[in-house]
Chains A and B, each alone.
Chain A
Amino acid sequence: MTWEQLVFGGVFVIALGSSLAMLFMRNAVHVALYLVAAQIALALAFLLQGAFFIAAVQIIVYAGAIMVLFLFVIMLLGIDKREALIEPLPGQRTLAIGLGAVLAAEIVYVAWRGIDLAASPGAGSTALDQINRDPGNVQALARLLFSRYLLPFEATSILLIVAVVGVMVLARRLGSASRAAEHADENRKAA
């Protein structure tokens, strides 16, 4: 047993275990913390597969920024209390779990048929190692990003601007609503 198999075993158990634990935690904060654990385990899986830059970004952006945002909103809304177990649609939960099991069986069957599990990483893996060694992981990514994928890259910048403006509009509407309420108050006082 090599060290990589050991590390992968740990990653598998932690990632799958904490995503299963997410299902059973009734407190939203606990769900968020298990999601962080799963994401850090996935960052390790990325490292194991030679995606060094993506692993760092996974920790900085996902486990860092995005999850802090989630926890911030959970705390802001104060909905860290337990979730009710009542079902307005009868049988919806059992149906969802059944469908999930079918989906899992389906995907795993397809993966099993399509990919030889015992196959060694082979030529592709050595090619990737070569890329990681010669131009370097970050350099190779940057070259692709700013040449072949320049247009999608620019599109994401537009997407980010649209997201920022959209969030500001959503927040501003609240502001103008409270301002309208203030106006109504003043009018009532004047009248």
Chain B
Amino acid sequence: MNSVGPGYYLVLATLMFTVGVVGALVRRNAIVIFMFIELMLNAVNLAFVTFARMHGEIVGQVLVFFVLVVAAAEVVVGLAIILVIFRHRASANVDEMNLLKW
């Protein structure tokens, strides 16, 4: 069943992670930045699953399970924070969030 080596999956995961990093740095909309963080988490999940296959252990998949749970909690809290900021400042642009600047 397995004719594609794990290296190819790892290359896909690293490339997707890099796209996530660049997106989180380049974009301005807080929600879009959040989605790129999700993309990075997904790429890491792919790496975990690939490592699980390389080592013949299912532990990597357990870790993916935990990443999923933490990501769900993180999304809920993060979106609530963005919502509150938006209600206060009527913008989700991260360049306009300069409350700590004097």
Is B one of A's binding partners?
yes
B-binding residues in A (CB < 8 A): 2, 4-5, 8, 11-12, 15-16, 19-20, 22-23, 28, 31-32, 35, 38-39, 42, 45-46, 48-51, 53-54, 57-58, 61-62, 65-66, 69-70, 73-74, 76-77, 79, 83-84, 88, 92-93, 96-97, 99-100, 103-104, 107-108, 111-112, 115-121, 123-131, 137, 140-141, 144-145, 149, 152, 156, 159-160, 162-164, 166-167, 170-171, 173-174
Residues of B in contact with A (beta carbons under 8 Å apart):
1-12, 14-23, 25-29, 31-32, 34-36, 38-39, 42, 45-46, 49-50, 52-59, 61-62, 64-66, 68-77, 79-84, 86-87, 92-93, 95
Chain B interface, >50% SS class: helix
A183, B7: Cα distance in complex, Å: 63
| A51 and B49 contact, Cβ closer than 8 Å, known pairs A121-B2, A124-B55, A128-B58 | yes
CB pair A171–B80 under 8 Å, yes or no, is: yes
Contact: A77 with B39, CB < 8 Å?
no
Task: Please tell me which one of the listed residues B11, B28, B31, B66 contacts residue A84 in the complex, with CB atoms under 8 A apart.
Answer: B28
Residues on the A chain within 8 Å of B4, using CB: 4-5, 8, 48, 121
Main secondary structure of the interface of A (DSSP, over half): helix
